[in-house]
Amino acid sequence: MWRLLILTLIAGTVASAQNTPARVDSPSETDKLKDSCFNFKGLPGCAEELFTGQPVHIAVGSMPAQNGFGAGVAYVGHKTTENWRNSWDADAVASINASWRGGVYFQFVHTPNKPIGVSFGPPKPQSNPSELPEHTVFGIYAQAISLNKLTYFGIGPSTTAAGRTFFGMTQTVIGGNVVKPLLPRLNASLHGEVNGRFVDLRASPNQPSPSIEQTYTEATAPGLTRQPGTLQLAEGFRLRPVFAADVVRLNYNFSYEQFVTPTNLNFTFQRVAIDLNHQFALYGKTTRQFESISGNGPDDCSVDPTTSSSCPKAYVRNLEGSVGLRFFTSLAMTPGGGLVPFYFQPTLGGSDIDGNASLSSYQDYRLRAPNVMLFRENFEHSIWTLPVGVTFIADEGKIALTRGSFGDGPWRHSFSAGLTLRAGGFPQVYLLFSWGGNEGTHTIANVNSGLLGGAVRPSLF
């Protein structure tokens, strides 16, 4: 708990040390609450101000699977100069099982003035009219999370549901990242990050299954007995072009990560991740924000990172629908016979530790290995012109102990149907009922841990 207190104190110290006080909405947040929260017609605006307002709002979101729903408070501030748009946010949330998360996040967006030019004739068509201009963004953050209930079934495709155990974990991530745009016509950018990761595992008694140390050893759960501090580096390339009048939207992400443990070189490894998302809109240009904005913090849903700190309104002007195809793979490289600690291995099944659903009919964290592969087909459509939609998902995935052994294990299948909520800057909500695997059904209710349009939090694996 001391980590949460330290992060909260840091947030307060940094906020008070700024030369310019945090930008307050005009009219003030207090005036907006008075106007909207004391009459029936104003209740939607009241909810927006309570959960997305600035500088202070209620922070809500699901903790990683098995750890309940978190609630707390978030603080957001901005300071804009001639060439920079700086922002900071801090939050602290806790759940009913005593799990908690706290963090502080700073973003520095380079926004130099473009020279004024003169041109003749009609303007050239934009290659990506639905996206805001990209800017170079520098980020610094510190986040700590404590989780009292995580599951471990072993590593590899041959594990069974009967091997379930529980453990607790605290992880602190301190680091920074940078996003550098290039090739505007393809909406491309380079990105990199440097993180220090500090993990502390513990027993999780009084659960429906044994605590992890009662069933597994260091040989069957690498990293169980000792968790050295890890330096994690990452470099990547992202493409988000839009074609055919905003009907075809691609989101390709390639990253290369290096995990270095100076005190235990046996846990030094590299990882390559490829994530290819394809979205085909049924009605052309969408009216809601779906992608995260790198210039925002996770508690900030500002529409434009350079001119406005307001969040999008929670309404939809027309019908929306899309069909999506996704391919994702994460491949580990362990030179010299090294190992990947089990707590840094990706998982399939239910939701992973970052809250991403995959093979949802299986239990959370059910399949764990250094190498994973996932195919997804999905359909989503709004209900009338409401920000509520129906979704159908089909997943096929498999895991492997080595990159060359994907053929050894079976393909796992899962089908899901449910409801989604994407309303303005409110956190995305989804409710899924999943079936089709060989281990029963699973119902998942999830509230995203960040606001829509907010930046993604540091990954926990």
By DSSP bridging, strand 242-243 and strand 371-382 are: unpaired
pLDDT in the model for residue 98:
96
Render 136-182 in DSSP notation, one character per residue.
EEEEEEEEEEEEEEEEE--SSTT--GGG-EEEEEEEEEEEEEEEEEE
pLDDT digits (tens, 9 = 90+) for 34-78: 565 766 565 667 888 889 888 999 999 999 999 999 999 999 998
- Determine how many CB atoms are found less than 10 A away from the CB of residue 220: 14
pLDDT in the model for residue 307:
59
Question: Which residues of the chain are modeled with pLDDT < 50?
Answer: 1-2, 4-26, 119-132
**In angstroms, rounded to a whole number, what is the distance separating the alpha carbons of residues 138 and 361?**
38
Which of these, 98, 32, 52, lies nearest to 312 by C-alpha position?
52
**In angstroms, rounded to a whole number, what is the distance separating the alpha carbons of residues 199 and 261?**
12
Beta bridge partners of 378: 324, 393
pLDDT in the model for residue 29:
60
Number of Cα atoms under 13 Å in the Cβ half of residue 294: 25
- Determine how many CB atoms are found less than 10 A away from the CB of residue 410: 9
Give the distance from CA 425 to its chain's centroid. 15
**In angstroms, rounded to a whole number, what is the distance separating the alpha carbons of residues 72 and 62?**
12
State the chain's mean pLDDT as an integer: 86
Which of these, 51, 53, 60, 176, lies nearest to 107 by C-alpha position?
176
Q: Which amino acid is at 364?
A: D
**In angstroms, rounded to a whole number, what is the distance separating the alpha carbons of residues 107 and 298?**
11
pLDDT in the model for residue 234:
98
